Amino acid sequence: MEQLLNYPQIQSNKIPTHVAIIMDGNGRWAKKQGLMRIFGHHKGVDAVRGAIEFAAEIGIKYVTMYAFSTENWNRPPIEVNALMKLLVDSIEKELPTLMKNGIRLKTLGNISQLPGNCAEQLFKAEEQTKNNDNTTLILALSYSGRWDITQAMKKIGNDIQNGLLDPNSITDELIGETLNTAQYPDPDLLIRTSGEQRISNFLLWEIAYSEVYFTEVLWPDFTKQHFLDAILDYQNRERRFGKTTEQIAK
Ligand code: IPE
Ligand code: IPE
Ligand code: MG
């Protein structure tokens, strides 16, 4: 594959199709420099750009980035407002990067909860990038795994009540199809930065068999080299999906 010329260490037949990233540590990064937390978020946007460029370069088809959780609404209003403004500004500013790298933008989460101009900007960017087919960038915003599972259960419950669904026909496929992530394959690799080793209500259903990679690097410091390290680590793992090594080797 020509696009891997820059990264001969990568095995081109073992590129994860979907990488999910919990971008954590912006606040601590800023604190270390004696700056306000929002500066960490600003620097974090540069790391997002590097990560999606790298993903497009090596042919990762889907990247889901956790940008704002349901629980993040409980942060001080000054930080929430600054983050929303940063989001709107960044989408506008980064559109050329998305177009240049053939990246399609999608959102995941309770977008109606975002301030009016955020939802509008996101919708515009989704429209403008919808024919890009290199990599899909899924921005998880006002998202949590439990929120998505809850809305899926409501839909399924309604269908049962309306006589459209027999409870005995509920399968794990049906639940997966009812989630807002239905159109994407499950993540192969989940990365979390900043040394925290937890999931924080990210893709709970979808990460059932994801490989998990934790790094101490704070998100604003996360470079293409760090992303490459994660990919190389992933490529050395054996994914067994409950089977034995002997079965996998066949
Ligand atoms: C991640 O960085 C970005 C968001 C949650 C929006 P944090 O803001 O959580 O940074 P830390 O964890 O406090 O360092
Ligand atoms: C998870 O990070 C959410 C995002 C990265 C958007 P948090 O910083 O909010 O998670 P906790 O509170 O440390 O678990
Ligand atoms: Mg954090």
Into how many domains does the chain fold?
A: 1
Q: Does residue 249 fall inside a structural domain?
A: no
Residue 190 lies in a domain: yes
* CATH code where residue 178 lies: 3.40.1180.10
Mean pLDDT of 145-163: 98
For 94-135, the pLDDT digits (tens) are: 999 999 999 999 999 999 999 988 999 999 999 999 999 999
CA distance 19 to 226: 14
Q: CA 202 to CA 105: how far, in whole Å?
A: 19
pTM listed for this prediction = 0.97
Q: How confident is the model at residue 1 (pLDDT cuts 50, 70, 90)?
A: very low
How many angstroms does the Cα of residue 231 sit away from the middle of ligand 3? Answer: 23
Q: For residue 176, what are the contacts with CB-CB under 8 A and spacing of at least 6? A: 182, 205, 206
What is the extent of the structural domain holding 81?
2-239
Percent of the chain with pLDDT over 90: 96
| 184-236 pLDDT, tens digit each | 999 999 999 999 999 999 999 999 999 999 999 999 999 999 999 999 999 99
**Site to substitute for ligand 1 among 24, 74, 199, most atoms within 8 A of C-beta:** 24
Instruction: For helices 224-235 and 37-58, give the axis angle rounded to 10 degrees.
Output: 50
Q: Tell me if 125 is assigned to some domain.
A: yes
Mean pLDDT across 132-141: 98
Residues involved in catalysis: 24, 72
Element (H, E) at 140: strand 135-143
